[in-house]
Amino acid sequence: MVNANAVPCAQASARLTIDDQRGLLRLAREAVAAAVCNAPAPAPAVEGRLAEPGAAFVTLKRGGELRGCIGCIEARPGSLAATVVRMATAAAREDPRFPPVRLCELEPLTLEISLLGPLVEIGHLDDIVVGRDGLVVEHQGRRGLLLPQVATEWGWDRDAFVAQTCRKAGLPADAWKAGARLWRFEAFVFSEETIS
């Protein structure tokens, strides 16, 4: 499961301007608003880095609390902008942990976008750097993913981060000891709160 199309995060952040970040956040917000109103999602006309394929997650928060998060770990056909629109729509409507976002929630929502770098299989847990790496675990047809910022937000150390990623996949916390495969990835993260 190597993400051959993903741009390494250092390159992504260097190639993504502040205007690009603002543009992606605007598209994500428009997509969420369209989803809430049962309107067609925006069809982005973009160029440069935003027109290239990319893997992305869109996170919705309300009052600092998670309200939805959906993404893809591998670049899909089409543009990064179109991927962000699809993930924002899905985060508003399809996150199984939450009911669909309602109109009254739209204004207080804050949006965050995580652009994922390539997946690198982990040979040893010492390869994981909390705060830098996100994790993917896969075993017996189950897969779980946690973004790099999740460990920092919850104050987890490496062992807790791995255990929580296993639990996210519906696996025992120590599934990595029983044959589960682990990958790490970096992410370039920006939000409406950090981009003004």
Q: Which of 71, 86, 116 corresponds to the end of one domain?
A: 116
Residue 131 tokens read as 């705060």
Query: Which residues have a Cβ under 8 Å from the Cβ of 67 and sit 6 or more positions away?
Result: 60, 61, 98, 101, 105, 109
Residue range 2-61, pLDDT digits in tens: 344 444 444 444 478 999 999 999 999 999 999 999 999 998 888 889 999 999 999 999
Q: In total, how many domains does the chain have?
A: 2
Q: Which residues constitute the domain of residue 129? A: 120-187
Residues 18 and 103 in one domain: yes
Residues 112 and 124 in one domain: no
| Start-to-end CA span in the chain (Å) | 36
The structure's pTM equals 0.88
Residues 136 and 109 in one domain: no
Residue range 58-112, pLDDT digits in tens: 999 999 999 999 999 998 888 999 999 999 999 999 999 999 999 999 999 999 9
